[in-house]
Amino acid sequence: MVDTRRGADEIAREVVRLAPLFLRQAGGHVLAYFPANERGRAFALLGTAIYVGQMAGLAGGPAIAAASTWQTAFHALGMIGIVIALATWLIVREPAREVIDVATPVLPLKQTMRLLVGTPSVMLLATVMALGSLSGVTFGMWGPALFERAYGLSTQAAGATFALSFGLPGLLGVLGFGFLSDKLGKGDATVQLRLTALALGGATTTILLVTWSDSLTVARLLAVPSGLLGGGWSVGVLAGLQYILPNSHRATGTALVLLISSMFANVLGPVLAGQLSDWIAGAGPHGLRIGLSVAIPTGYIGVWAALRAMRSFERDKAALAG
């Protein structure tokens, strides 16, 4: 029995020592929940939650607030999250894992991060995720306010119009991208990066056009290709990370990329656009449009990074595996 008074390092060594015994007892065949050729559609199904949440939040929140109070909207939508969390805890079970080489030492966090930062493809994929998310999330957060100011809609109508116009195409787009990338990417993992670059470039262009459209009808029409293209490009990045990162670095590498992208997308982009809008508030709705037009084009740098990552993708995968 392991003495609970021993340090964390000694306990970790004990786990590594005993792991081969458990694998042999299990017959040495531990399967991944999703095989490599189905990871695109797996991330796509996971990504649908973003658009379901966007439609429910942007459309349902203002409607509840209009019927009651804004506090009630937060309480109602928050309770949904608690119910889903409880259901997940009761229903979802930890899947079996891939067979891993337990003789391979697990690197300390600092050493793992240094290795990943020194791998060009990983950092390029982080750039795609960070700047692509900055572009899309900034538009997504300020889009309802843009619709309200530019087209004279009420807060409730602007939220519902924006959510449905972009949410439904985005839902279809993320599913389509996942299945398409799995189908076309068999035998060539760089296909997913090429599709990512194409989708991100198209989405960045269309949301810029929406930002400066003077017609609500035109904006809603442009929302269709914007959602279809913008819905799935991140699936290619996440699937690419799962392909290039070995078991010993996969969780840390993915977490590092998501940490970087979250800081850029949820902090820098919306604050930048909002601050610029305040500085040039005299321009009316154009103030917000100018602010968005500074943040949105960062998606084009993400397109460049995706194409650039293709050059060293297989080479970096081999280096990390070695």
At residue 11 the predicted structure's pLDDT band, cuts being 50, 70 and 90, is: very low
Say yes or no to pLDDT of 200 above 90: yes
Say whether both 16 and 63 belong to one domain: no
Query: What does the DSSP 8-state code read for residue 107?
Result: P
Residue whose token pair is 């290709």? 225
Distances (CA, A) of 32 to 21, 104, 223, 246, 247: 19, 19, 37, 14, 11
At residue 7 the predicted structure's pLDDT band, cuts being 50, 70 and 90, is: very low
Name the percent of the chain lying above pLDDT 90. 20
CA-to-CA distance for 172 and 263, rounded, in angstroms?
27
We report the CATH number of the domain holding residue 181 as: 1.20.1250.20
Read off the pLDDT of each residue in 293-310 and give the average, rounded to a whole number: 93
CA-to-CA distance for 261 and 156, rounded, in angstroms?
30
Say whether both 25 and 128 belong to one domain: no
Read off the pLDDT of each residue in 291-317 and give the average, rounded to a whole number: 92
CA-to-CA distance for 266 and 272, rounded, in angstroms?
11
Domain of residue 3, residue span: 1-30
Say yes or no to pLDDT of 45 above 50: yes
Say whether both 162 and 81 belong to one domain: yes
Say whether both 26 and 36 belong to one domain: no
As given in the structure block, the two tokens for residue 134 are 């900055």
Identify whether the C-beta of residue 191 lies closer than 8 Å to the C-beta of residue 181. Answer: yes
Q: Which residues contact 312 (CB under 8 A, 6 or more apart)?
A: 120, 121, 124
Closest C-alpha to 205, from 184, 235, 228: 228
Say whether both 74 and 18 belong to one domain: no
pLDDT at 203: 94
| Predicted TM-score (pTM) of this structure | 0.75
At residue 276 the predicted structure's pLDDT band, cuts being 50, 70 and 90, is: confident
Say whether both 14 and 159 belong to one domain: no
Mean pLDDT of the chain: 78
Residue whose token pair is 């290795």? 115
Per-residue pLDDT tens for 160-184? 888 888 888 888 888 888 788 777 7
Q: Give me the count of residues in the chain.
A: 322
Rounded CA Rg of the chain: 22
Q: What's the domain count of the chain? A: 2
Q: How many CB atoms lie within 10 A of CB 153?
A: 17
Say whether both 9 and 52 belong to one domain: no
Say whether both 275 and 174 belong to one domain: yes
Least confident of 27-36, 132-141, 231-240: 27-36
Say yes or no to pLDDT of 28 above 70: no
Say whether both 8 and 97 belong to one domain: no
Say whether both 218 and 305 belong to one domain: yes
CA-to-CA distance for 193 and 189, rounded, in angstroms?
8
pLDDT at 23: 34
Say whether both 162 and 279 belong to one domain: yes
Least confident of 49-58, 180-189, 310-319: 49-58
Least confident of 103-112, 117-126, 247-256: 103-112
Say whether both 7 and 38 belong to one domain: no
pLDDT at 128: 94
